[in-house]
Amino acid sequence: MTEKTNEVMFQNDMIRQLIANGWLLGKPEDYNRELALYPEDLLGFSEAVQQGLVKNDPSAPDSRKYARYIPSWA
């Protein structure tokens, strides 16, 4: 096998292992290469982290307000 074939097989095996352990496979068209992330994942993470803060502090910022900035980053 060629080096490229081995790399593709390795990548596919890694992806299968990650998915088998709960990782979610994203769509390539949703990936922001400049930021090296999925903007929706960033918002989801922010909201998840802030849940505890918001419960304890009703004046804490809501990350959904910041969603409008994501398109300007893309």
Chain segment 25-37, per-residue pLDDT in tens:
999 999 989 889 8
Res 60: pLDDT: 56
- What are the residues whose beta carbons fall under 8 Å from the beta carbon of 56, sequence distance 6 or more? none
- What are the residues whose beta carbons fall under 8 Å from the beta carbon of 50, sequence distance 6 or more? 60, 61, 62, 63
Give buried/exposed letters for 21-39 (b at 16+ CB in 10 A, else e).
eeeeeeeeeeeeeeeeeeb
Q: Domain limits at 13?
A: 3-73
Tell me: pLDDT of 5 over 70.
Answer: yes
Tell me: pLDDT of 72 over 60.
Answer: no
Chain segment 29-71, per-residue pLDDT in tens:
999 898 898 888 887 887 777 765 555 555 555 555 555 555 5
Q: How far apart are CA 7 and CA 55, in angstroms?
A: 46
**What total of structural domains would you count in the chain?**
1
